[in-house]
Structures are given as C-alpha cells and as structure tokens.
C-alpha cells in the first residue's frame, strides 16, 4: 500500500475524552473514529488489524471442527420471551419496534437464536456433537460506554455454541475450545492467561476467562509461578499454611492501647508486624427459620483482606454481606470497632485459614483501648470454624501446589462456559438418543471479543511513541520510508524495487511515499506501530546502505543495499 | 470437509411460503433458515457461498484503489437530520431509542456517516480522490419482505462512497468503479449486464445498474445485438424509424365500427395489423401559472405501449401521470374512450416518434362507433409535437446504432451513481482546493447487494434437481461421494486418499462420507449444486474406475482410478 493513496489520519494531540492508552493510541494512530457514544468507525488502518484478528479466530475455530454460521443481528422478542430473558435483561438490551409494531432487539448474544435453529435442524444423537460459531456485530447498550472499542456499545464478537448429548461430551468439546482459545491467543502473539472463573463448583471448573495481561487491565489475576494455576483474584483459593500451628510460647496479657483503632496504628504502637495481629469483623449472619439474623465474627490475620465473595458464599453469613453497625457491635462485644477480639466473644467465629495457624497473636480485648497479647487458639479461646475468607496475596502458596502465587492485571478477551441445559430446557431443544428417547441438549458457549482484542493488544504493547504491534496483527509488517523522494528519482526507484520484492515475499508493506518531513514520517510509523522500518535516502544510497530499525529496537542500523532483502526477510521471520 | 461432521440440512419438500426458485432452493439445500419475516440465518453451506462472493468483491474493490472501512450499523439521528433524510425516509428506516431516549436508526445506507467522517478527515485537494467502501450488515424495514435473501430486511451490502474535487475527477472514479463491477461479476461467473439507469441527463449517463440475467428477474432490460447499448426498459430510448414518412396513398374515409372499442378488436374487425392503427390517450396537462390544468392527447402506434415515465417527464404533462375521466373525454372529444382520434381534436397533441412516421393510418373519428381510415399527418391533421413516449419492443433499432434491441429479464445486484454534492452540500463537506479556497466535494456511491447475489446466482443457474453453482462461488467445488463406505474400508481408503489429494491441489472438497443411501447422497449433492462429483464404490474400485459427473453433464463417465486426479484437476480448471 502506498501511504500517499491511503488514509493516514494520525493526530498530534491526544483527544481529551480518551481515558486509557489504547483508546488514545487508536484515535491518534487513525485506527478508529467516534461516531456517537460507544459507536466507532474503523478507519482503513484499524480495520486491517481487526480483519487479521478475525482471520486467526476463524482459522482456529474451523480447525477445531466448529461450523461457521451467520445469524441476524436483529432478533424477534418471542425467542427471548421463551427463554425468559426478555424480562430479565436490563437496559443493556437495545429494544425496538418494526413498522408493524412488533418487538425486536439488536442481539447482544445469540443463545436463543442458535437454540431455535438447532431444535429445528438437529434431530438425533448422530447429529452430535455440533459446535456453531459466528463472527458478528453485536450491541450492548452500556449505560456509560467508554474506553473506545474496549467497552463500546456496538462491537464484534466471535460467539460459539456447542450442543452435546451429555455432560461427558460437553466436557470434551469444552476442552477442545480451551485448546483452540490457547492456539488463537498464541497466534495473536499476546501474553495471556486462561483463568478459572468459577473455582467452587464440584466436578472441576465449568468456566474459564482468557485475559490479555496488561498493567492497565480491569481485572486482577492470581497465577502460580509453576504455571498450572490461574484464577481471577476474587475467586483464587488461599490455601492453609503448611505444617502444624506453632505451640503457645507466651502467656496472654492485657496491654493498654489508647487511641489505637487500626491494625496499622496498633502494630506501630506495639512495634510488631501486622501479621502478628488479628482483626475481627462483625457481620450479619444468615437468617434462621424464623427470619432472625444473629451476628457472626470473621477473623483474619491483621495484614490480610477479607474476600467478600468468599464470605458471603458461606451458609452462615448473610448475602449480600452486611457489616454490623457500631451499636450492634457495642451491644455484642461491649466495645468500639477498634478493640474487638475473639476472646470471650459470645457470637460464632469464622476463622480464616491463615489466622487459624497463628500463635501468640495480638487481638482486641473487647474493652475500649485495650488489646491482648500472647493469645493462643484453644488455650485462650475456642477456634471456631476455619474457612477460606481472604483475598490471596502475592507469595501465597499455589492451590495447585506448583510454587507460589503472583498477581497480574488482565483484560478479559475470551470466556468459555458450560451452559448446561439452561436454554435447551427452556426452549425444549431435544434430540433422540441411542434408545430413541428424547434428550435435552447440553450446551456450552464460547465468546471472544474480536474488536476488544485490538485494544487489549495495544494496552499490552506500546511505548511513549505509540503502538508496538505483534507481527500477526500489525496493519502492515514493514514500512518502507522514502526521504525526499519527490526530489530524488533514485530514492523512489530503490523504494519501489524493495517494496515490490517484499510484497512478492508475502509481506504486508506500507510504502511511505508521502511528501512529508522525515520527522513526521518517522513519528507516524512509530505511532502506527509497524514492526519493521526501512528508510531509503539519497545519503544512504550514496553510501550503498539502507537504514533498518525494529519498532522496539533502541538503535537504527545501516544495511548494505544488496543485503536488504535477505536481512528484512530474516528480521520478519520469512523464509529467504 | 466431511459431510458426516457438517450440517447438511437438505429438505425434500419445498416450503410453502417460498415463492421464487432461489428462495425454495436455498431453503431446500440448507443454505438459509428463516428467523422471522425478512430475517435469515445463514447455515454453514450458505455462508460459504456468501463469503466467496464477499471475497471477490473485496479483492476487486481493493484492486481499484478503494479503501475498506467499517462503519457502525447503528447511526445517530442527528446526521440524518442534517441531510434532511430523517424526515424524508419512510417506514423502511428502522428507528429506535437507546436507554437514554436518544434517536438512532439501523442504517439502510451510510451516506451521512461517511460524509461526516470525510468532512473531519480530508482537508485538502491533495487528499483526493478517495473512495471508501465497506461490506456490512444493513437493515431496510420492507413492508412485505419476501423472496428470501433476495428481498430481506437484514442484508449484506458492499457500499462505497467516492469523494472528488470536481466533476471530471468523479467521472474518472465512476469509470473505475464501472470497470471494477464488470471484473467482479465476470469473476463471479454470472451472465450480467451493465444497464443505463438514467438515459435522459445531459452529459451522458450518471447511473448504471448491474443486472444478473434470469428469466425470473423483476426488471426488463433492453440491450442491443451489437452489445453497446443496455438500458432498463423503462428508460430505454425508442428511436425514430429510419427514413422519411411515406407519402399519403389513400384518401381519408369514415368507417362504421360498431362496438369496436379496443385496438385488438378494431384491427380484427377491419382485418388490418394493429401497427396500422393509432391509439389516442387523453391525460392531464401540466398546470399553468394560474394552476389551471388542460388536457393533452398522447398518440401512439396501435401496437405500442405508453411509457408512463417518459410521458410524465415531459414539461406539458402533469406529474404524476393522470388519465382523463370519461366525462372529461366526452366533453373534450365528443365521444367515448374507444373512438378518440387526433383529427379535429382541440387539445395539444404529443405524438410518439413511431406514430409520427405512419401514413394511411386508422384512428378514432371522435364519434362513437366510427373510425377514420387512410388518415395522414399534415394533410388531414397537424402533426403536433413529436416525442419518445413509448416502451421499446424487441426488434427496435438500438439507440447506439449497433443492431436492434432484445429484451431480457434481470435482477439488480449493483448500482453505481453520481451523487454530486447532494450530501456534501447539506453537511458542509469541503476541502481546500489548489487556490486555498473551500470547495464542496463531489460524491459518487456504489452499491452491491452481496447477499442478494447469492440468490440471483441461483435464479440464473439451476435445473429441476437443484442449484448449479458457478465454480467461483460454489460452497464446495468437488463432492467425493462414497457408496457403502461404512461396510467397505477399501472405499473409505480410496475416498480419503482422493480427498487429501484434491485438497492439496487447492480445491474445496466435500467428502460425502454419510451413512446414507446412494440415491439420497446423489440427490443432496445435486440439490446443493456442487459443480463436480466423483463417486467411489466397491464395484468401481474392482473395475479400477471412479465415476465422474459434472453438475450440468447429461451422463456419468467412468475414469480409471489412476487418472482420477489429473482428470478432476483438468475438469475444475486447476493446473495439474
């Protein structure tokens, strides 16, 4: 492609309403333009990236045996009424009426449509397993669309839906999809993690998220140094410390702690580490048969944080998690919020696994401005129930036993999920099984945010000069930049020759033949993020060289003109 | 692809609501399924065809220098209010409100969005010419959607919009698009015609339609035997007959014609050809300055039909064309509708070119049940104004002078159109010209009905057994059909081998390995329309042969197994 005949719509200024780096860079590099809130036009340069992502997703889905279909964007309300979602779905569902007043929506997802298709087309267990996918435009009417294509209202998804006769077959398809997603993100050249999204269920996880790692990611992921374990931090298991609880060494004693109402203050006041203290949180218990709600004490090591999702999933704890008021604490513990402790407390204790492993610890004495030191479980206070109720921290042992946990931030770009028979039951999607009996289908669904991947790739790969595309999805792989070509036929001739040679070698090449200053051209190519850059100038040609620079290289290097082609082929990983 | 793992959803019965053959065959072959009125899911087999059409369109558009973009389907009302179309567009515009109550539509076309993009991104004449296209899902809320994807509500269009500094540059881009469309339809393997869609404008045609020829087409197209001229019959010019009008030979005489009120009856009664008669139609004239409307007589040769569009485009004729009532005719001509004629008529005459060339003709006498014979222009009645007001008929001379006209039916699948500054003016889309002055952009728009092409290809290419795909868009190019393979490992082995060889040669192959009766498999492959079929059976293998049949061939032929690969490569036009 010749830049002089191509829309290079780079911007010098960062648009004011772009909050995150990918949004800023996609606007500045001329990849997208905003049409309205959450609606973006893909300019030629951005669309090239999007199409490359699409192609990789399509090729790997095809390889997995999934069959591509294309369902309408506009869906009739009747199917959503059948599944019950017409009522359940909130303001994110863009509803509309056609000219005859009938209800439709712009599909944010296609479970109903595909289930309707399958119940009509698949008749027998012999037609199974089947997995149908599409790459298609969807709409989710976000209340506050932002972050460019990262959270747009209109976006492009790959959504797949599998249909299986039984759970075992669904498990197999699920594993195939897991492997396919890994192949896709491998080929995209992104650093990603498959993350358990539902660790609690019996029979193993039934949902995985795929995250592109990026410092700016909205989600926190814990993963093990051994590489076997990864989970969203909200769901990552904090395992019990190894070994036995140490034996008591100190005797319990009261200590005055005037005005020390936080763990941090207390530790500083007593000159101890926060990990030797305990914090006690009083929350509402689950209602009993008569609807009465007592209180429950949640006990954590002083330096740990409560994981509210884990806590409220416990049967004894009210859902949603509700902290006791100051009055309730005063009535129950006899003191203010900064001096509570387990010793002598008359409500049930739920003790975190790490707190349960402590000896000779410090805790509130249930008297204002007084704490206890040298406290030990069982000797001084019954242990109560031990549970996992905290957030993991970096350095925790991996639940899979493979090293310890690290925490990284990620952007969710894929999700695979076992739906079971939620939709097939509601919509009566059955086939005849081997015995000629009607069997409700088992379903899985598998999504990839195709347009979101473009933004996520940028969040992961950029510097202060612009985007650094992975080769697989770069809009162009090589930029051939001419300097003062409009004055020098020699430069233009050499550039055209190299351009043709590289294209014949199968590379996507942008010939920057624009009549612009060298600085403008260099800045544009770096902003756009083209992985390899070759500069052709009169001075270089006179010296018999071209200048090469990889997008992430610190330095430029001069290459003899005669070696240019093999050098670039090698740099781009093409066979010479 | 193995048919055993692929959705072959053929139907034996023709669905009742499918009126045209392409709709019937797409349903029967398992290409599409109806979701709701005018909304179709593309099943795997149909989508393969759609994607092949898309790819050819994309490749040729890219080759033309057009740049691909992707605009949102959902468009804000504000832009349509700027162009004035929010009010003008009728019920076909699917309007909706987002969760904040703002007005949007599902775009049936994208002039406003692209003009908005261009007015922001293109600043100077140096950025021109530019041509942007997309292949995208559109919605037109047809009152009565029918004919499957031929006239669906949700459909896929290729729409392109060019921006030029002046008319001359627009002309160039228009010619490039005309050639590009020819390349596209050539590659698709369809019999098509580029047809003048607006023959009247000074400066040559500013609009062409591209029609796929098919007996079932909704449009009639006139084209010349010499190949230079083609026009929608509504717009095709009926040229004046060659030579001078013959001199009068008969004298004018009255003849009684009791109850002969139609041309056909009159000609039979007088035993003459209808082409020797004249018919006179009385219509309302254009209103004068005071708003008064007189009557006008339109005179045609008896065997010709009035072209209402041509007539109402005349300045003297009321638009829309309005026929005079019986009372008005009686008052003006003094007789009933079957006896009107030009002689002695007191209203202006507009005489068709062919009628003006007649001598010694028969016409009404303006007395009930009386006609005149031997009538001649000027001698018996002043000629009045001569205009082209009739439909052409087969055999008419070509307006381009290259032979005579034939009429075929066609399906409109493309349209190229010079928009001029309609949108750029309304939306103030300007660039700075060479002199630094602001210039309103000239625009062209260029559409192709991508999903409609699939149906049009079938209307053109089918027989009583099913579809006959052109190679370029066949879902699979070759079907390798096994007979009783579940009982014969030899058959399966030979089939697998050929399947691999053909795929390695770059062919799209469907291996029909289903455990079905031979008749079912043959019927399915013919219904689906795969161009080449190879049958592998035990009997054949024992004789050392495979059976080959082209989809349009009358007979099957046996091919020695050893020659099968080169034979098929040759049949499919691949290099051996």
Dump pLDDT digits (tens) for A433-457.
999 999 999 999 999 999 999 999 9
Could you write out the three-class secondary structure of A100-144?
CCCEEEECCCCHHHHHHHHHHHCCEHHHCCEEEEEEEEEECCCCC
Residues 6+ apart with CB under 8 A from B542: none
Which residue of A33, A39, A92 is in closest CB contact with B74?
A39
- Residue B103 in contact with partner chain A when CB distance is under 8 A: no
Dump pLDDT digits (tens) for B94-135.
999 999 999 999 999 999 999 999 999 999 999 999 999 999
pLDDT at residue A199 tops 70: no
The answer to whether the Cβ–Cβ distance between A113 and B35 falls below 8 Å is: yes
- Residue A252 in contact with partner chain B when CB distance is under 8 A: no
- Chain A interface test: which of B67, B79, B125 (most A C-beta within 10 Å): B67
**Residues A221, A231 contacting (CB under 8 angstroms):** yes
DSSP-based three-state secondary structure for B434: coil
Confidence of residue A506 (pLDDT cuts 50, 70, 90): very high
- Chain B interface test: which of A58, A69, A93 (most B C-beta within 10 Å): A69
pTM recorded for the entire structure: 0.88
In what helix (H) or strand (E) does residue A309 lie, and over which residues does it extend?
helix A308-312
Q: What is the mean pLDDT of residues B315-330?
A: 91
Q: Which residue of chain B has the CA closest to A112?
A: B35
- Residue A427 in contact with partner chain B when CB distance is under 8 A: no
- Residue B77 in contact with partner chain A when CB distance is under 8 A: no
Dump pLDDT digits (tens) for B340-359.
999 999 999 999 999 999 99
Chain A residue numbers touching B33 (CB-CB < 8 A): 117, 120-121
The answer to whether the Cβ–Cβ distance between A44 and B75 falls below 8 Å is: no
Residue A202, number of CB atoms within 10 A of its CB: 5
**Residues A162, A443 contacting (CB under 8 angstroms):** yes
Which residue of A44, A75, A141 is in closest CB contact with B98?
A141
Confidence of residue A204 (pLDDT cuts 50, 70, 90): very low
Q: What share of chain B has pLDDT > 70, as a percent? A: 98
pLDDT on residue B181: 98
Residue in B377, B392, B448, B444 with CA at minimum distance from that of residue B232: B392
Which residue of A68, A74, A120 is in closest CB contact with B47?
A68
User: How far apart are the C-alpha atoms of B434 and B327, rounded to whole Å?
Assistant: 64
Q: What are the structure tokens assigned to B302, written together?
A: 């008896």
User: How far apart are the C-alpha atoms of A45 and A3, rounded to whole Å?
Assistant: 11
Compute the nearest-CA separation of A193 from chain B (Å): 30
- Residue B91 in contact with partner chain A when CB distance is under 8 A: yes
The answer to whether the Cβ–Cβ distance between A117 and B47 falls below 8 Å is: no
pLDDT at residue A203 tops 60: no
pLDDT at residue A108 tops 50: yes
Range with the poorest average pLDDT among A427-431, B100-104, B225-229, B404-408: B225-229
- Residue A322 in contact with partner chain B when CB distance is under 8 A: no
Compute the nearest-CA separation of A476 from chain B (Å): 14
Q: Which residue of chain B has the CA closest to A62?
A: B1
Please indicate whether residue A415 or residue A576 has the higher confidence score (pLDDT).
A415
DSSP-based three-state secondary structure for B330: helix
pLDDT on residue A202: 36
Residue in A285, A284, A277, A281 with CA at minimum distance from that of residue A337: A281
pLDDT on residue B201: 37
Compute the nearest-CA separation of A525 from chain B (Å): 18
Compute the nearest-CA separation of B222 from chain A (Å): 36
The answer to whether the Cβ–Cβ distance between B7 and A67 falls below 8 Å is: yes
pLDDT on residue A81: 96
pLDDT at residue B519 tops 70: yes
User: How far apart are the C-alpha atoms of A394 and A84, rounded to whole Å?
Assistant: 42
- Beta pairing class for B219-224 and B405-420: antiparallel
Compute the nearest-CA separation of A326 from chain B (Å): 40
The answer to whether the Cβ–Cβ distance between B69 and A43 falls below 8 Å is: yes
User: How far apart are the C-alpha atoms of A307 and B63, rounded to whole Å?
Assistant: 58
pLDDT on residue B520: 96
Residue B477, number of CB atoms within 10 A of its CB: 22
The answer to whether the Cβ–Cβ distance between A69 and B40 falls below 8 Å is: no
Dump pLDDT digits (tens) for B171-192.
999 999 999 999 999 999 999 9
Q: Which residues of B95-107 are buried (b: 16+ CB within 10 A; e: fewer)?
A: bbebeeeeebbbb
Q: Strands of A557-560's sheet, edge to edge?
A: A509-512, A478-482, A532-536, A545-550, A557-560
Dump pLDDT digits (tens) for B54-70.
999 999 999 999 999 99
The answer to whether the Cβ–Cβ distance between B141 and A33 falls below 8 Å is: no
Average pLDDT, chain B: 94
In what helix (H) or strand (E) does residue B459 lie, and over which residues does it extend?
helix B450-460
- Residue A69 in contact with partner chain B when CB distance is under 8 A: yes
Q: What is the mean pLDDT of residues B533-541?
A: 96
Which residue of B72, B132, B153 is in closest CB contact with A40?
B72
The answer to whether the Cβ–Cβ distance between B35 and A7 falls below 8 Å is: no
Q: In B, residues 493-552, which contact A (CB 8 Å cutoff)?
A: none
Q: What share of chain B has pLDDT > 90, as a percent? A: 87
H-assigned helices in B205-337: 263-270, 308-312, 326-333
Confidence of residue A485 (pLDDT cuts 50, 70, 90): confident
Angle between helices B450-460 and B21-28 (to 10 degrees): 100
- Chain A interface test: which of B34, B39, B55, B121 (most A C-beta within 10 Å): B39
**Residues B441, B164 contacting (CB under 8 angstroms):** yes
pLDDT at residue A205 tops 60: no
- Residue A186 in contact with partner chain B when CB distance is under 8 A: no
Chain A residue numbers touching B153 (CB-CB < 8 A): 74, 98
Compute the nearest-CA separation of A537 from chain B (Å): 24
End-to-end CA distance of chain B: 22
Q: What is the mean pLDDT of residues B533-545?
A: 96
Chain A residue numbers touching B94 (CB-CB < 8 A): 74, 96, 98-99
Cα angle: A536, vertex A538, A540; to 5 degrees: 65
The predicted complex's ipTM stands at 0.88
Count how many Cα atoms sit within 13 Å of the Cα of residue B203 in the half-sphere of its side chain: 7
- Residue B41 in contact with partner chain A when CB distance is under 8 A: yes
Dump pLDDT digits (tens) for A367-404.
999 999 999 999 999 998 999 999 999 999 999 889 99
């Amino acid at each position: 492609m010749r830049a002089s005949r191509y829309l290079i719509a780079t911007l010098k200024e960062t648009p004011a309403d772009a909050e995150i780096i990918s949004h800023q860079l996609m606007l500045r590099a001329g990849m997208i333009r905003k049409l309205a809130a959450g609606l973006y036009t893909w300019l030629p340069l951005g669309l090239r990236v999007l199409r490359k992502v699409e192609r990789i997703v399509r090729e790997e889905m095809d390889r997995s045996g999934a069959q591509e279909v294309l369902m309408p964007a506009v869906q009739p309300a009747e199917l959503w009424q059948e599944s019950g979602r017409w009522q359940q779905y909130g303001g994110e569902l863009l509803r509309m009426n056609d000219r005859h007043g009938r209800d439709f929506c712009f599909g944010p997802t296609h479970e109903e449509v595909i289930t309707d298709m399958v119940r009509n087309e698949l008749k027998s267990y012999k037609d199974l397993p089947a997995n149908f996918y599409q790459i298609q435009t969807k709409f989710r009417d976000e209340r506050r669309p932002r972050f460019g294509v990262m959270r747009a209202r209109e976006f492009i998804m790959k959504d797949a839906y599998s249909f299986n006769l039984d759970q075992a077959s669904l498990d197999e398809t699920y594993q195939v999809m897991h492997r396919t997603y890994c192949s896709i993100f491998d080929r995209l050249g992104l650093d990603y993690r498959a993350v358990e999204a539902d660790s609690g269920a019996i029979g193993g996880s039934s949902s995985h998220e795929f995250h592109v790692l990026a410092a700016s990611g909205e989600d926190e992921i814990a993963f093990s140094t051994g590489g076997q374990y990864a989970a969203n931090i909200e769901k990552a298991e904090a395992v019990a410390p190894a070994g036995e609880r140490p034996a008591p060494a100190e005797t319990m004693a009261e200590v005055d702690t005037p005005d020390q109402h936080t763990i941090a203050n207390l530790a500083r006041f007593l000159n101890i580490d926060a990990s030797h203290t305990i914090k006690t949180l009083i929350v509402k218990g689950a209602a009993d048969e008569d609807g009465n709600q007592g209180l429950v004490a949640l006990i954590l090591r002083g330096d740990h944080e409560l994981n509210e999702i884990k806590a409220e999933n416990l049967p004894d704890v009210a859902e949603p998690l509700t902290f006791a008021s100051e009055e309730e604490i005063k009535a129950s513990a006899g003191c203010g919020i900064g001096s509570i402790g387990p010793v002598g407390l008359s409500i049930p204790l739920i003790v975190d696994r790490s707190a349960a492993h402590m000896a000779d610890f410090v805790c509130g004495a249930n008297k204002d401005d007084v704490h206890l030191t040298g406290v030990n479980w069982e000797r001084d206070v019954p242990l109560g129930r031990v549970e996992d109720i905290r957030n993991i921290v970096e350095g925790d042992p991996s639940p899979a036993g493979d090293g310890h946990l690290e925490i990284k931030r990620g952007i969710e770009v894929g999700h695979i999920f076992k739906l079971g028979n939620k939709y097939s039951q509601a919509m009566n999607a059955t086939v005849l099984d081997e015995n000629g009996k009607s069997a409700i289908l088992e379903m899985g669904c598998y999504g990839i945010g195709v347009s979101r991947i473009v933004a996520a790739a940028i969040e992961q790969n950029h510097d202060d000069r612009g985007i650094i595309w992975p080769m697989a999805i770069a809009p162009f792989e090589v930029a051939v930049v001419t300097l003062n070509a409009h004055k020098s036929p020699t430069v233009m001739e050499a550039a055209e020759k190299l351009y043709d040679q590289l294209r014949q070698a199968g590379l996507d090449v942008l010939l920057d033949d624009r009549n612009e200053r060298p600085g403008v051209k260099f800045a544009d190519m770096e902003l756009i993020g083209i992985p390899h850059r070759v500069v052709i100038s009169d001075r270089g040609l006179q010296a018999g060289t071209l200048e090469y620079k990889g997008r992430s290289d610190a330095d430029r290097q001069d290459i003899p003109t005669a070696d240019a082609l093999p050098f670039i082929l090698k740099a781009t990983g093409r066979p010479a």
